[in-house]
Amino acid sequence: MAEIRIDNVSKHFGDFVAVRGSTFTIRDGEFFVMLGPSGCGKTTTLRMVAGLEIPSGGRITLAGEDVTMKRGRERDIAFVFQLFALYPHMNVRQNISFPLRIQGLPRREIRERTEDVARMLQIDHLLASAVGGLSSGDRQRVALGRAIVRRAKAFLMDEPLGALDAEFRELMCEELRLLHNRIGATTVYVTHDQIEAMAMADRVCVMNHAEVLQIGPPLEVYERPATRFVAGFLGSPSMNFLPARGGLPKGAREVDVEGSMIRMPETRAPLETSNAMLGARPEHISISDAGPMRGRVFGIEYMGARQLVTVDTAAGRLKVRTPNNVRVHYGEMVGLEFASERLILFDAATDRAVPSALFSEAVHG
C-alpha cells in the first residue's frame, strides 16, 4: 500500500506562502496529476512529498508511515526530474541498471531486474547498444526503464515531458499511461499542461495561488468545474465566458446574456450578485440559424477532423467547435445554438459555479 496522505500541509518561504493548508489523499496505484500555472505551489507540494522540502506545518504519510521530517533518501520513492537525460558514455544496460548499481545490489539481481524492465519496455534487444545511436522513442524508453527499475513505492515526476515538441509529447503521454497500467505504481505527476493532465490522470488536482481548488477524475473536473479558474484552465481552446445578468432565484432555467435569453441547467441555489458569467465550451456551441444569439465570423481554423470557428457577438468573441463539413465564410452573420444542459453559471463576485442540475447529476451522467 503506497497511499500518500497530505494533511493540512503548508509551506512558507519568508512572507511568501507557497502552499496553504492542503489536505488530500493520493490512492495506492493511482496516477495523480497536479495541474496549475507556474508559481501555484504544485512543485513545492511534490518536493515536500519527495522530502526535498520540509513543510512549515502539517503532516505527510507514505504507506501509513509519517515521513514529514524524513530525508528524501529515507523515503522509498523515485523522483524523476528530467526523464530524458541519459548518460551518453554508458550503453543501454548500464543506463537502466545505474540506480541499482549505486545501491550496491548483488550483480545477479541487478542483471535480472534490468532485463525484466527491458523486456517490459520491449528494448531487451538493445541492451548492449550505445544510447547515441538509438531512435528518440527508444531513448525515452531507456530513461523510463532507469526510473522504474528501482521499484520504488511511488514515482514523483516534475514536468518530465516539458522539453519535448507536441507530436512527441503525445506519444510519450500514451507510453507513460500504458506503462502505468502495467506496473500500477502510485504516481504523482506535476505539469502546467492541461492536455497531459487530461490524457494521463486517474484524478487531477488543480491548484492556483497556493491553494487546491478541485480534485477529481479529469472528465468530471472538465465538465463540472468548481470555479471559473478551473473551468478556464482545462480545455483548449478555453471555455467561453459570456457576461450574463445575475439576481436569479433558485430554480432559474434561463439567463439574460446581452439581451438574448439562453437556457441552462436549472439552478439549485439563488444567485444574488447582479453580475454573472455563463460558461460554454467551444464544443457546446454550434452554428444554427435558429439559435438565440447571432454574430459575425471572424476566423475559421481547419483542424482536420474538425474546425474551430471564431465568432464576434454582443457577448464577446466566442470560439465554436464544429465538424469540418459545416460550411461558413469569413465575415458571414451566423446564428449560435447552445447545448443548454452543459452550460455553467458563475457568480462574477466569487468566481464560483452556481449549483445546478448539472452538478447534482450522477458523477458519470
Partner 1 sequence: MAEASLIGVTRRFGPITAVDEIDLVVADGEFLVLLGPTGAGKTTTLRLFAGLELPDRGRVEIGGDDVTVLPPSARDVAFVFQQYSLYPHYTVFDNLAFPLRAPGRQLGSDAIKRRVGEIAETLRIAHKLQNRATELSGGEMQRVALGRALVRTPSLFLMDEPLSSLDAKLREELRLELKRIQRDLGATIIFVTHDQLEAMTLADRIGILREGRLVQTGTPQQVYQCPTSVYAAQRLGSPPINLLRLDTEGLPQAPATAARAGVRPEDIAVAAERGREARVLAVERLGGETVALLDLDGQTLHALLDAHVRLEEGATTRIAVRTMEPIWFDHDDRRVGHG
Q: Write out the binding residues for partner 1, residues 120-179 only, by CB under 8 A.
A: 165-167, 170, 173-174, 177-178
Per CB under 8 A, 304 contacts partner 1: yes
Sheet order of strands, 65-66 included: 16-26, 4-13, 57-62, 65-66
Segment near partner 1 (CB under 8 A); pick from 56-64, 115-123, 252-260, 302-310: 302-310
The grid coordinates of residue 66 equal 509519517
Sort strands 306-313 and 293-302 into parallel, antiparallel or unpaired. antiparallel
Per CB under 8 A, 195 contacts partner 1: yes
User: CA distances (Å), 337 to each of 64, 180, 292, 302, in order?
Assistant: 52, 41, 6, 21
Q: 112, 272, 289, 301: which one contacts partner 1 (CB under 8 A)?
A: 301
Per CB under 8 A, 321 contacts partner 1: yes
Please identify, using beta-carbon distances, which residue of 16 and 181 lies nearer to partner 1. 181
Per CB under 8 A, 295 contacts partner 1: no
- Minimum CB separation of residue 166 from partner 1 in Å reads 6
Name the residue type at position 296: R
The grid coordinates of residue 333 equal 452573420
Per CB under 8 A, 29 contacts partner 1: no
Segment near partner 1 (CB under 8 A); pick from 88-96, 236-244, 268-276, 354-362: 236-244
Q: 25, 61, 91, 310: which one contacts partner 1 (CB under 8 A)?
A: 310
DSSP 8-state class, residue 239: P
Contact between 279 and 233 (Cβ < 8 Å):
no
Q: 132, 184, 247, 299: which one contacts partner 1 (CB under 8 A)?
A: 299
Per CB under 8 A, 303 contacts partner 1: yes
- Minimum CB separation of residue 219 from partner 1 in Å reads 4
What 3 state SS string does 261-273 have?
EEECCCECCCECC
- Radius of gyration of the chain, Cα coordinates, nearest whole angstrom: 24
Give dist(CA 203, CA 185) in Å, integer: 14
Per CB under 8 A, 312 contacts partner 1: no
Give dist(CA 46, CA 48) in Å, integer: 5
Contact between 253 and 245 (Cβ < 8 Å):
no
Segment near partner 1 (CB under 8 A); pick from 76-84, 89-97, 109-117, 215-223: 215-223
Give SS3 for 154.
strand
Contact between 242 and 278 (Cβ < 8 Å):
yes
Give dist(CA 17, CA 211) in Å, integer: 10
Q: 55, 99, 282, 295: which one contacts partner 1 (CB under 8 A)?
A: 282
Segment near partner 1 (CB under 8 A); pick from 116-124, 148-156, 219-227, 259-267: 219-227
Give SS3 for 211.
strand
Please identify, using beta-carbon distances, which residue of 54 and 339 lies nearer to partner 1. 339
Contact between 280 and 239 (Cβ < 8 Å):
yes
Residues recorded for the chain: 365
Segment near partner 1 (CB under 8 A); pick from 67-75, 118-126, 233-241, 250-258: 233-241
Stated as kind and residue range, the H or E segment containing 170 is helix 166-183
DSSP 8-state class, residue 5: E
Stated as kind and residue range, the H or E segment containing 230 is helix 228-233
Q: 17, 52, 199, 328: which one contacts partner 1 (CB under 8 A)?
A: 199
Q: 200, 226, 277, 343: which one contacts partner 1 (CB under 8 A)?
A: 200
**# residues contacting partner 1 (CB under 8 A):** 39
Segment near partner 1 (CB under 8 A); pick from 64-72, 205-213, 266-274, 279-287: 279-287
Please identify, using beta-carbon distances, which residue of 245 and 342 lies nearer to partner 1. 342
Please identify, using beta-carbon distances, which residue of 173 and 277 lies nearer to partner 1. 173
Binding site for partner 1 (CB under 8 A): 165-167, 170, 173-174, 177-178, 181, 193, 195, 198-200, 217-219, 222-223, 234-238, 281-283, 298-299, 301-305, 308, 310, 321, 324, 330
